Amino acid sequence: MLLRIFAGIVASGALVRATTSWSISFKTEGGCSTASGSGGTFPTSLPTITTTSTISTAITEEEVTVPATSTITADPVTTTTVSTQTIWFFTTSTVTVPTTTSWRGAESIVATVTWPSTVCTNDITPSTVTEYTGSYTPISGQVTTIPTSYPSEVLCATGITWLTYYFPTATSGSTTVTSTPTSTVYTSTITKTITNSYAETTFATTVSSVTTSYRLASSIVTTSTACEATTTTTLAAKCAPTSVVAGVGDHGLVSGRYAANNTVIYLRDEKYIDPSLCCQLCQDNEGCAGMMAGIGGYCGLLYVANPNGLPGPVCDFVFTYQTQSNVFPLQGLWVQSGCGEIDYTGSDGV
């Protein structure tokens, strides 16, 4: 940002003047640090607190002396010019191409994702006991413990410095500038002809083709029942809080490459923001290739459409994930496979 304003003060006489101009600019500097916490709920994303401070500084430059300027007018100069006019002609030719393709879109529903919702008719909010079935082998380096202390917030400080520069100028003496008027006389006109050719394309035959987009349907299955004081939830071992992949080594996760024919549905039901329950929902839905949760408070279930155009999903590769140095474990993405394949590809180099 730059703003310059001129202020003038007559010092004495007609040949000596003092003027001062000034400009205003600013610069911004900042930095962030991370605070740690313990206990309570482990945050899946870090809140950021920003503070801003402002200071102003005035800088006066050394005075510069310049001569005053006066202008005299010399005899005019006349230039003789021949003008040119151009006439354009356009011709059209036809080019015939053997075949063109006419594309039309089609939509394919890969699968219907269902998730349960229980309504207690007796105003009881049951406590939940969680059990796990099966076994799970962590990937190499996977973070499998919930730390006792963890990054809890990011503290950022920004400093803004406003700089006002003063430029004093003194005018003394005089200098002369000569101004010479000019005029142009057109004596004759030359005509120039230009021909442009354009080709129109026609097609001998048209072939129709279909491009298919994939999507998922969804359905909530609601059950109304008299609830017990305690309910038992059974999860797959791979969906335990320490089994869902949320960090490798010292770093958290970001997404990588996706299958070309993948499709995803995002659930923002508060219950399934829990990565373990999101993981189990993927296990419970046939054809769910993998899940991704965490940043932004969502549960994403990913499917892979059949590449041969057949109905239904396939249990195939769906996405890759990687670590990133500026993401903390358990505070980036949480991922786990369903019936398909997800691949860890190492660090993204950041």
Q: Is the dihedral of CA 336, 341, 344, 348 positive or negative?
A: negative
- Gap between the Cα atoms of 175 and 177, Å rounded: 7
- Gap between the Cα atoms of 18 and 11, Å rounded: 6
pLDDT at 339 over 90: yes
Query: What pTM, to 2 d.p., does this model score?
Result: 0.62
For the segment 65-101, what is each residue's pLDDT rounded down to a tens digit?
877 777 788 788 888 787 788 888 888 888 888 888 8
* Among 48-62, 135-149, 243-257, the range of highest mean pLDDT: 243-257
- Gap between the Cα atoms of 55 and 212, Å rounded: 59
pLDDT at 348 over 80: no
Give the residue from 241, 198, 199 showing the smallest Cα distance to 336.
Answer: 241
- Give the per-residue pLDDT at 41: 60
- Contacts by 82-85 with C-beta closer than 8 Å and gap 24+? 82/186, 82/187, 82/188, 82/189, 82/190, 83/186, 83/188, 83/189, 83/190, 84/189, 84/190, 84/191, 84/192, 85/189, 85/190, 85/191, 85/192
- Give the per-residue pLDDT at 17: 67
pLDDT band at 46; cut points 50, 70, 90: low
CA angle 119, 120, 123 (to 5 degrees): 135
- Gap between the Cα atoms of 253 and 343, Å rounded: 12
CA distances from 216 to 86, 263, 285, 312 (A): 62, 7, 12, 10
Q: What percent of the chain is modeled with pLDDT above 90? A: 33
* Among 159-173, 196-210, 280-294, 306-320, the range of highest mean pLDDT: 280-294
- Give the per-residue pLDDT at 1: 42
- Give the per-residue pLDDT at 344: 96
pLDDT at 37 over 80: no
Q: Show Cβ contacts of residue 58 under 8 Å, excluding neighbours closer than 6 positions.
A: 164, 166
Least confident piece of the model among 102-111, 217-226, 244-253: 102-111
Rounded to a whole number of angstroms, the distance between the first and last alpha carbons of the chain is 32
- Give the per-residue pLDDT at 4: 44
Alpha-carbon torsion angle 309, 312, 313, 315, nearest 10: -110
pLDDT band at 7; cut points 50, 70, 90: very low
Would you state the structure tokens that stand for residue 60, as one six-digit string? 């006066």
Give the residue from 85, 73, 109, 59 showing the smallest Cα distance to 311.
Answer: 109
pLDDT band at 10; cut points 50, 70, 90: very low
* Among 36-50, 107-121, 167-181, 243-257, the range of highest mean pLDDT: 243-257
Phi/psi for 273 (5° steps) reads -65, -25
Of 107 and 346, the structure prediction assigns the larger pLDDT to: 346
Do 38 and 147 touch, CB atoms closer than 8 A? no
pLDDT at 15 over 60: no
Mean pLDDT of all residues in 230-239:
94
pLDDT at 317 over 90: yes
Do 282 and 291 touch, CB atoms closer than 8 A? yes
Mean per-residue pLDDT of the chain = 84
Q: List beta partners, residue 110.
A: none
- Gap between the Cα atoms of 172 and 66, Å rounded: 6
- Give the per-residue pLDDT at 42: 61
Give the residue from 293, 322, 276 showing the smallest Cα distance to 141.
Answer: 322
Would you state the structure tokens that stand for residue 138, as one six-digit string? 């962590």
pLDDT at 350 over 60: no
pLDDT at 319 over 90: yes
Give the residue from 267, 248, 209, 210 showing the smallest Cα distance to 345.
Answer: 248
Least confident piece of the model among 145-159, 216-230, 240-254: 145-159
- Give the per-residue pLDDT at 299: 93
Q: What percent of the chain is modeled with pLDDT above 70? A: 91
pLDDT at 8 over 50: no
E-assigned strand segments in the chain: 3-12, 16-38, 48-60, 64-73, 77-120, 127-133, 149-179, 182-225, 230-236, 252-258, 262-267, 290-293, 299-304, 317-324, 334-337, 341-347
